[in-house]
Chain A
Amino acid sequence: MRLLVVEDEKTLADLIKEGLEEEGFSVDVAYDGQEGLFMAQNEPFDLVVLDIMLPEIDGMEILKSMRNNKITTPVLMLTAKSDVEDKVSALNIGADDYLTKPFSFEELLARIKAVLRRNFKEASNIIRIADLKLDLSTREVERAGKKIDLTAREYALLEYLALNKNRLLTRTDITEHIYNYEFDFDSNVVDVTVTRLRKKIDKDFKKKLIHTVRGVGYMIKEEE
């Protein structure tokens, strides 16, 4: 999952980025409203963590412009204000959730996951594809009851495929959603990661779940 954090307090933004990356997200950071709005409008993020009080353009304005430009990326608002009015108006202009400062990292993470799950229309934290089981909250993967250890990048790829199961994902889709801005798009790192993931998920099983669509991309599905 690729996230954007728009927060003017540099230390806080960097800490959030660090924490979320440890959780397997790829994270971009914008330190002011202008940059935040530009990135939100030009990159396909899965979620934006947006502070309300920002220099240049405030968070409410960014959210409004995003929604006016039909960008439906889920948005989690952060604010130091605890007014109910603020909360209501943020939700009214299209925020998906709202978090009041100060907050703990666990709370932020839980809210991000909840918003993402809602956005991918998953009712529970557990996704099952045939005998493959993915726990979004603990990031544990099992196949046929056997635990599989994955690296953060492999997990991110599997999670993205699973959340979009039965849908064809191009290489660009995948790079854009599991790597951040600093990533070099020309490399074949996606193919390498997919190969490694296949080794862990599909190699010992007769039924293959990850499918290649030649020249286009990959998808995860139950039936052959």
Chain B
Amino acid sequence: MRSIKAKLIVLYSLVMIAVLSVLSIILFLSLRNIVYKPIDSSLLKRAKSIDSMIKNNSFRFSFSDINGNKYSFSFSDNRLWVYSSRYSKYFFQIRSLQGETLEKSLSLGKMSLPFSKNFKRFENINFKGKTLRLLNYVDPYDRMIIQIAYDTNREAKILNNFTLLLFASIALIMIASAVGGFVVSNRALKPINDISLKINRISNENLNESISVDGVPYELEVLVSSFNDMLKRLDKAFKQQKRFISDISHELKTPLSVILMQADMALKKERSSDEYKRAIESIKEKTDMMSKLIEKMLLLASLESKYNKMSFSEVSLEDLIKEAIALFAHKADKRGITINIDIKDRCSVKADRITLLEVFSNIFDNAVKYNKENGRIDVSVKKADRFAVVEVRDTGIGIPKDSLSKITEEFFRVDESRSKKTSGFGLGLSIVKRIVELHNGKLEIDSEEGKYTSVKIFLPIA
């Protein structure tokens, strides 16, 4: 059963039924006790009175006991006249211990009170369509059983009516409580419906809106606020995505415009072959740049879903760094930059070799590109706790303080005009950060403008 409402109703109906049943059984039993107690005591009194009458010989009939004593009694005794009418509500019958009838009241007529060997002291019997309360009174001395009965039709009727009333009221209470429960649970669930209506109004257009907690019950506030938190996270991710796409479109369309414009200009009228050559060269340069940019963007995008495809193995950082440096040795040489490597601790890390190489390529690329002529690049590897720390420190132009926090954002460039000169895309450090994170490591960048930039990479040791 998946409905909270149905569960609630069924559960508390069951509880209600149990409580009401116990209650009605108690009520019924105590009422019965109240009804039968005086009857029983009066029957006992009557039995004792007949017994004493027999003992006093006031009966006018006679019989012999086991000792041969003869008894007799008569109905003239005014204590017995209630038994004499056929319409009387009282009956008696005197039996021997074997069950043989010795005498019975006139009110019984030709009938007999039922008797069985294993009789109870008090019982309810059906007699000619009447309900009788019967007392089997045993007089052990006189070895006889005095059966005395009283027609309890009235009392039984009261009890019946009472039982009926009980059942009817239980049924009524159940129906009322089911309806009440339905209404209550509906009202209890209404805030949830309200919230879901509000949630329905949120689309990708208004993700920045939150659900107000006004009128939301205290118990649901937690739900609403965690939903709002989720909305915020979604909105952030969505905006980031949107910004990334708009950045991509800007970064791609601008060089594309240049290419198109260059071609248009070349074709506008007759040009000299020198002019054509220059146009084609410029187009080629832009096209090369664009294809590099596209490659970087695809790499960055693929990193988002890369983790499952990476193959981790133990990689020696020393070897990997030397491999990366080899790729930039020529470029560094051309600018007179010296690269020093200082391996303080030999470290191996669990890494995807190819992606990790991309990290160091990007960092060395920056260290060469943004360095001063005849500058230096110091690379060190050491252990710190359970991390291997690689620091690449250049003597370059540095990063302004206010740009440090944004330096790893996609397409962020410290200075547009400067990056135009150095043909950066603003993607390198985003890629580095993403890859380092995929290796459960972290990236720290520190810099002083005009002096140095230090990039520290922390990777868990294998």
Contact = CB atoms under 8 A, between A and B. Distances in A.
B228 to A, nearest CB: 25
Contacts of A102: 253, 256-257, 259-261
Interface stretch (A12-20, A39-47, A173-181): A12-20
Given A101-B254, A101-B257, A80 B417 contact: no
Interface in A76-104: 80-83, 100-104
Interface in A32-71: 32, 53, 55
B196 interface: no
Contacts of A81: 246, 249-250
Given A22-B268, A102-B260, A10 B253 contact: no
Interface string B254-279: 11111111101100110000000000
Contacts of A19: 261, 264-265, 268
Contacts of A131: none
Contact of B249 (A12, A22, A80): A80
A105 B264 CA distance: 6
A22 B261 CA distance: 14
A25 B381 CA distance: 60
Contacts of B265: 15, 18-19, 105
Main secondary structure, interface of A, reads loop
B257 A106 contact: no
B257 A82 contact: no
Nearest to B420: A10
Contact of B282 (A11, A16, A104): A11
Interface string B172-212: 00000000000000000000000000000000000000000
A15 B258 CA distance: 8
Given A8-B416, A9-B258, A106 B250 contact: no
Contacts of B264: 19, 104-106
Contacts of B420: 9-10
Contacts of B415: 55
Contacts of A15: 258, 261-262, 265
Contact of B250 (A11, A31, A53): A53
Contacts, number: 68
Interface string A89-126: 00000000000111111100000000000000000000
A81 B248 CA distance: 10
A16 B250 contact: no
A116 to B, nearest CB: 20
Nearest to B416: A55
Most A C-beta atoms less than 10 A away, residue of B253, B255, B286, B417: B253
Contacts of A18: 265
A23 to B, nearest CB: 9
B238 to A, nearest CB: 15
Contact of B253 (A32, A101, A105): A101
A82 B249 contact: yes
Contacts of B252: 80
B340 to A, nearest CB: 36
Nearest to A99: B257
A8 B413 CA distance: 14
Interface in B209-264: 246, 249-262, 264
Contacts of B268: 19, 22, 105
Contacts of B258: 9, 11-12, 15
Nearest to A104: B264
Nearest to A52: B250
Contacts of A83: 246
Interface in B255-313: 255-262, 264-265, 268-269, 282, 286
B260 A103 contact: yes
The 9 closest A-B pairs by CB, nearest first: A105-B264, A80-B253, A55-B416, A80-B250, A102-B257, A101-B253, A102-B256, A101-B257, A15-B261
Interface of B: 246, 249-262, 264-265, 268-269, 282, 286, 415-417, 420
17 contacts: A8-B416, A9-B255, A9-B257, A12-B254, A15-B258, A19-B264, A80-B251, A82-B249, A100-B253, A101-B254, A101-B256, A102-B253, A102-B259, A102-B260, A102-B261, A104-B264, A105-B264
Given A11-B282, A12-B254, 6 more contacts: A8-B416, A32-B417, A53-B250, A80-B253, A82-B249, A104-B264
